[in-house]
C-alpha cells in the first residue's frame, strides 16, 4: 500500500512538472509568435513605465509584474487611467504579466494600498486593456438592446481581451466588478 502511495505521488509530481513546463513553453511560444507579428511588442519592468508613481512601481515589482506594451502605438493601453470605480476618481489600471498568468490590477485613486486584482487569466501576449467611456458604454447597450439589464453608466469601464478578438468589458457597479459586455 505504501509503495502505491509513493508511486501515485511520483506520477502526480511528474504530471505537475510536465504541465508547468508545457505552460511555460506555451506562454513563451505565444510571446515569440506575437513579437513576430508585432516587432514593437515589449515586456517592461514597472520601473521603466514613466507614467507610474513610485508607489505603484514598487507594488507591481513586488507582485513580479512585467507589462506588455506596443512601443509604436499611440493609444493608451495596458497602463491606463480613468474613473473606473466612480465618477471623478483618478484610478490606474495595469495589465500585469507574472509567471504564466495575467491579471488586471486597479489602483483606486492611484493608491498602491488600494490595489485590487479584478481579473486573472492565463498569459496571452495578444491580450491588452484600455479605457471605455460611459458614452461608448451607452452606445453599446443600445446596440445590443441591453439597456434594461445594464446599469446606468456613470463612469469608465475596462475592456480587455486578445487583440482582434472578442473582449470583455468590466464595470464597477454596486460594490463589485461585473462583466457588462
* pLDDT tens per residue across span 53-81: 999 999 999 999 999 998 887 789 999 99
Residue 24 above 80 pLDDT?
A: no
Average pLDDT of the residues in 13-22: 35
Closest Cα to residue 65, out of 29, 102, 91, 32?
Answer: 102
C-alpha cell at 23: 505552460
Domains identified in the chain, total number? 1
With cut-offs at 50, 70 and 90, classify the pLDDT of residue 162: confident
Look at 15-19, 126-130, 148-152 and tell me which has the smallest mean pLDDT: 15-19
Q: Check residues 101 and 32 and name the one with the higher pLDDT.
A: 101
- Percent of the chain scoring above 70 in pLDDT: 84
What pLDDT does 25 receive?
A: 40
Are 104 and 94 in contact, with CB atoms under 8 Å apart? yes
What pLDDT does 28 receive?
A: 56
**Each residue of 85-144: pLDDT tens digit?**
999 999 999 999 998 899 999 999 999 999 999 999 999 888 999 999 999 999 999 999
Which range of residues forms the domain containing residue 103? 2-179
What's the sign of the alpha-carbon dihedral 77, 83, 88, 92? Answer: negative
- The alpha-helical segments, DSSP class H, found in 120-174 are 134-143
C-alpha cell at 67: 507589462
Amino acid at each position: 500500500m505504501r509503495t502505491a502511495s509513493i508511486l501515485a505521488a511520483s506520477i502526480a509530481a511528474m504530471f505537475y512538472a510536465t504541465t508547468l513546463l508545457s505552460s511555460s513553453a506555451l506562454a513563451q511560444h505565444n510571446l515569440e509568435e506575437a513579437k513576430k507579428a508585432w516587432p514593437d511588442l515589449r515586456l517592461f519592468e514597472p520601473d521603466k513605465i514613466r507614467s507610474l508613481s513610485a508607489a505603484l512601481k514598487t507594488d507591481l515589482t513586488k507582485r513580479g509584474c512585467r507589462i506588455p506594451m506596443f512601443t509604436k502605438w499611440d493609444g493608451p493601453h495596458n497602463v491606463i487611467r480613468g474613473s473606473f470605480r466612480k465618477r471623478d476618481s483618478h484610478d490606474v489600471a495595469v495589465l500585469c504579466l507574472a509567471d504564466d498568468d495575467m491579471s488586471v490590477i486597479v489602483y483606486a485613486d492611484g493608491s498602491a494600498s488600494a490595489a485590487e486584482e479584478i481579473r486573472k487569466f492565463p498569459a496571452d501576449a495578444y491580450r491588452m486593456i484600455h479605457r471605455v467611456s460611459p458614452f461608448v458604454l451607452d452606445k453599446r447597450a443600445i446596440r445590443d438592446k441591453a439597456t434594461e439589464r445594464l446599469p446606468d453608466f456613470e463612469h469608465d469601464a475596462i475592456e480587455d481581451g486578445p487583440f482582434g478578438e472578442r473582449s470583455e468589458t468590466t464595470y464597477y457597479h454596486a460594490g463589485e466588478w461585473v462583466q457588462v459586455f
